[in-house]
Amino acid sequence: MEHSEGTFQGAGGLELYYQRWRPEREPRAVLAIVHGFGEHSGRYTNVVNHLVGQGYAIYGFDHRGHGQSPGQRGYIHEWGEFREDVRAFLRMVGEGESGRPLFLMGHSLGGLIVLEYALRHPEGLRGVIASGPALGQVGISPILLSLSRILSRVWPRLSMDTGLDATAISRDPAVVRAYQEDPLVHSKGTPRLGTEMTKAIEWVQAHAADLRLPLLILQGEADRLVPPEAGRAFFEKVTFPDKEWRGYEGGYHEPHNDITRDQALSDLTGWLERHL
For residue 152, pLDDT beyond 90: no
**Domains contained in the chain, number:** 1
Per-residue pLDDT reduced to its tens digit, 202-252: 999 999 999 999 999 999 999 999 999 999 999 999 999 999 999 999 999
| CA gap 198, 4 in Å, rounded | 35
The Cβ of residue 100 has, within 10 Å, a number of other Cβ atoms equal to 17
Q: What percent of the chain has pLDDT over 90?
A: 88
Confidence of residue 193 (pLDDT cuts 50, 70, 90): very high
Strand residues in 94-199 grouped as ranges (E):
102-107, 127-131, 160-161, 188-189
pTM confidence score: 0.95
What pLDDT, on a 0 to 100 scale, did the predictor assign at position 144?
Answer: 62
Question: What Cα–Cα distance (Å) separates residue 101 from each residue in 3, 31, 272?
Answer: 20, 9, 10
Residue 220's SS3 state is strand
- 136, 140, 142, 148 alpha-carbon torsion, rounded to 10°: -100
The Cβ of residue 200 has, within 10 Å, a number of other Cβ atoms equal to 21
Active site residues: 108, 223, 253
Candidates 104, 149, 142, 97; CA nearest to 122 is 104
For residue 149, pLDDT beyond 80: no
Q: Domain residues for 7? A: 2-274
What pLDDT, on a 0 to 100 scale, did the predictor assign at position 147?
Answer: 66
Candidates 87, 92, 48, 85; CA nearest to 66 is 85
Per-residue pLDDT reduced to its tens digit, 240-264: 999 999 999 999 999 999 999 999 9
Confidence of residue 159 (pLDDT cuts 50, 70, 90): confident
Per-residue pLDDT reduced to its tens digit, 101-110: 999 999 999 9
Which CATH number covers residue 249?
Answer: 3.40.50.1820
The Cβ of residue 25 has, within 10 Å, a number of other Cβ atoms equal to 7
